[in-house]
Each structure stands twice: as C-alpha cells, then as structure tokens.
Amino acid sequence: MELTSKQRAYLKSLAQKEEPCLIIGKAGCTPEVAEAAREALLARELIKANVLKNCEEEPKEIARLLAERTNATLVQVIGRKFVLFQQAKKDSKITLPKGKWE
C-alpha cells in the first residue's frame, strides 16, 4: 500500500503515543518474529517495534524485511524503532485521511 504524506503523518501521530509491542533481539528478523509481527498487525493494524542494541542487523533493514514478510507498509524508522501499518480488510479501526486523487 502506498501512503500519501498526509496519511503517513497521521499514522506517525497515532504511533507516537504507543509503546513498542514488538522487541527484536540478537537473532534479528527470524520467522518467529515475522509471525509475531503478523499477529500484532492483525490485532492492532499499527505496531511499533524496537530493535535492541545487541542485534547485529540494521533497524532499517529489519523494518524493510518485516514489512515485506508481513505485507505491511513501513511508516517510519527513527533510531532503533520503527512503525508498520497494515489496514484490516474488514472492520478497520484506523481510517486514513483521503488523498488528493481518492
């Protein structure tokens, strides 16, 4: 899903208030982490993750990989934290602002 800058800003503002619900440790982006992210996205639609300092992979790379593996959209990466979004197909909790062409 491609986000407009307005939609991205809206999601960033929602994520700012949230605590990370996914912690990625030394093992990095394992299939178990991807499954945990997928489950969290199904439950919440918007998740914040934290990459611990002992993880050898770069946070941007982990965020990109997780977004790819979960079919989510990478909203932002700041330092060792990142935000992913995947809108629910039914009964979405988050309503994105409309873009210019929508």
Percent of the chain residues past pLDDT 90, beyond the cut: 83
93 in any annotated domain: no
CA distance 26 to 53: 8
Distance of CA 99 to the CA centre of its chain: 21
Residue 44 sits in a domain whose CATH number is 3.30.110.60
Spatial contact of 55 and 81, defined as CB atoms under 8 Å apart: no
Q: Taking 70 as the threshold, does the pLDDT of residue 101 lie above it?
A: no
CB environment 49-64: b (16+ within 10 A), e (fewer): bbbeeebeeebeebbe
Angle at Cα 29 formed by Cα 13 and Cα 70, nearest 5°? Answer: 60
Instruction: Identify the residue whose tokens are 């619900």.
Output: 21
| pLDDT tops 70 at residue 102 | no
What's the rounded Cα separation, in Å, for the pair 98 and 54?
Answer: 40
Q: How confident is the model at residue 100 (pLDDT cuts 50, 70, 90)?
A: low
For the segment 53-62, the average pLDDT, to the nearest whole number, is 95
Q: Which residue has the higher pLDDT, 2 or 86?
A: 86
Number of domains in the chain: 1
pLDDT at 89: 87
- Does 92 map to a domain? no
Question: What band does 98 get if pLDDT is binned at 50, 70 and 90?
Answer: confident
Q: 98 in a domain, yes or no?
A: no
* Mean per-residue pLDDT of the chain: 92
- The two three-digit tokens of residue 82, written as one number: 């990142």
95 part of a folded domain: no
Range of the domain at 48: 5-85
What's the chain's length in residues? 102
Can you tell me the mean pLDDT for 64-76? 96
